[in-house]
Amino acid sequence: MPQSPLDTRVPAVLLRIDRNPFHHGTLGAVRSLGRAGVDVHVIADSTGSPVSASRFVTRLHPPPRPGADPADIAAVLLRVAARVERPAVLIPMDDAGAIAVSRLRAELAPAYLLPQQPCHVPELVADKAELAALCAAADVPHPVTLVPESADQAASAAWRLGLPVVAKWSRPWLLPAASGLRSTVVVRSSQEARDLYLRTDEAGSRLLLQTFLPPGPDRDWFFHGYADRSGTLAAGGPGRKLCAWPRGAGLTAVGEWTDNPQVGAHAERLADSLGYRGVFDLDFRRCGTTGAYHLLDFNPRPGAQFRLFADAAGLDVVRAQHLDLTHRPLPVRAPQPGRAFVVENYAPLAALRPSRRNRELAWHAHDDIAPGRAMWGLWGAHVARRLLDRLPRPGTAGVTGERPRVVRQSPPPPPSLTGLPGLTGAPGPTPTEPTDDERASRC
């Protein structure tokens, strides 16, 4: 058996706070590190998750409770560290985990190997209200963004930007699971914008409104990277979204590694301006009018489709982090443009279609069959539950004949309401789009 390039004496701990059983990125990280001989511990809700079936999982650990404060998260991580009994590379797999780990860096550092960067950076980039200013400082295009301070201003902002507009919660990881609120929605009337603003306290963060760029062929792009201890982008690359779920503005169901110097330059410039260290995932939308690539999201952790960017030397962003933090040399990057990645439950026809290209499936793997089999059984039950939930029940509007409520488009607000504070993007008529990936966090 060939010797692993990774230091197999150092285990890895994956942290996922979000309760999403179908997060294929976690399975990708388990397989990537496990295949290299690294012991992989997973802190996540394994109930009904195919990840728990992987033969590369060394041990599963219960996650922090929903809404846990930093002290509770630290207690869980230190408890796991005591069981592992040696320093481990800690890799958060969602924004909430990345932000918590960055806040707790000083407390966790004796037990875990972590990238060295200012503790506020992950929280800063994940907060969508801060992203526009960060992009402006790095000369990276970003949608024009308004931050209303009242319901009337929200209605006015919708008209000012030009309907439809995109509504985002600045800190989506704070959204209560049972609220029904989504991190991003397309708003088509000023009344919708007003109503959404009135739920600000429930959402736990500020509401943002952004200009909208319709989806289209060859417009959705992303970049996954790892910035090493010197700040050099040592792994990853640009990719193109060929199919999304839901269609038009959802997570990547089929992606392709595609050369794009503009996207790569934006990613390198932004990471350098922030002094960013570690794994990151950027989402872009190309404007059909100007051709500019606008940054929509900056996620300070591995994206769910990071395995798309496994290069010819087997290096991906997760392995790069383990190599870098254990002071092992990183191989010279060997890009594989044309490599494809398919998420079977979101693009089953694409997964079944024969491919001559270098392609990886999210769930099925010849050396780790159980998660793929478990996924289809669990996914079928999940879809059946969703369909049953949509069936009309006695007493509902569809059965009793109750007429649906009609929401009418309100007239444009008076000019006195259009002087909104909070314009954080560059002025101009550039149409820009809804935030893209609704990453199946709450599918």
Cα(397)–Cα(401) distance, rounded to whole angstroms?
A: 6
Query: What is the number of residues in the chain?
Result: 443
C-alpha distances (whole Å) from 272 to each of 117, 218, 300, 329 are 12, 27, 14, 21
Task: Return d(Cα 288, Cα 217) in angstroms, integer.
Answer: 10
Q: What is the pLDDT along the chain (443 residues), one digit of tens a residue?
A: 578 899 999 999 999 999 888 999 999 999 999 999 999 999 999 888 999 999 999 999 999 988 899 999 999 999 999 999 999 999 999 999 999 999 999 999 999 999 999 989 999 999 999 999 999 999 999 999 999 999 999 999 999 999 999 999 999 999 998 889 999 999 999 999 999 999 999 999 999 999 999 889 999 999 999 999 999 999 999 999 999 988 876 899 999 999 999 999 999 999 999 999 999 999 999 999 999 999 999 999 999 999 999 999 999 999 999 999 999 999 999 999 999 999 999 999 999 998 878 999 999 999 999 999 999 998 888 788 888 888 887 665 544 444 444 444 444 444 433 333 343 333 333 333 333 333 343 33
Give Cα separations from 422 to 111, 123, 359, 412, 415 (angstroms): 42, 20, 44, 20, 17
How open is the CA angle 40-43-47, to the nearest 5 degrees? 110
Give the largest CA-CA distance in the chain.
Answer: 73
Please give the Cα distance from 397 to 400 (Å, whole number): 5
Task: Give residue 399's pLDDT.
Answer: 44
Alpha helices, DSSP H, located in 284-364: 317-325, 348-352
- pLDDT value for 1: 54
pLDDT in tens, 343-375: 999 999 999 998 878 999 999 999 999 999 999
Helical segments of 146-258, H only: 151-161, 190-197, 200-203
DSSP annotation of 163 reads S
Q: Say if strands 88-92 and 145-146 run parallel, antiparallel, or are unpaired.
A: unpaired
Q: What's the pLDDT at 441? A: 35
Gap between the Cα atoms of 221 and 271, Å rounded: 17
3-class secondary-structure state, position 196? helix
- Cβ atoms 318, 279 nearer than 8 A: yes
Residue listed under structure tokens 């004796």: 110
Q: How many CB atoms lie within 10 A of CB 331?
A: 17
Beta bridge partners of 146: 209
What is the pLDDT at residue 385? 84
pLDDT in tens, 218-247: 999 999 999 999 999 999 999 999 999 888
Cα–Cα distance between 211 and 430 in angstroms, integer? 8
Round to whole Å and give the CA distance between 294 and 141: 5
33 closest CA partner among 361, 319, 372: 319
Rg from Cα positions in the chain: 22
| Tokens describing residue 270 | 């932004």
Residue 178: its pLDDT value, please?
84
Query: 413: number of CA atoms within 13 Å, CB side?
Result: 23
Ordered DSSP codes for 20-45: -TT-HHHHHHHHHHHHTT--EEEES-
Find out whether 311 and 334 touch, Cβ atoms under 8 Å. yes
Instruction: Report whether 186 contacts 151 (CB < 8 A).
Output: no
pLDDT of residue 401: 45
How far CA 103 is from CA of 96, 206, 423, in Å, comes to: 11, 21, 29
How many CB atoms sit inside 10 A of residue 177's CB? 12
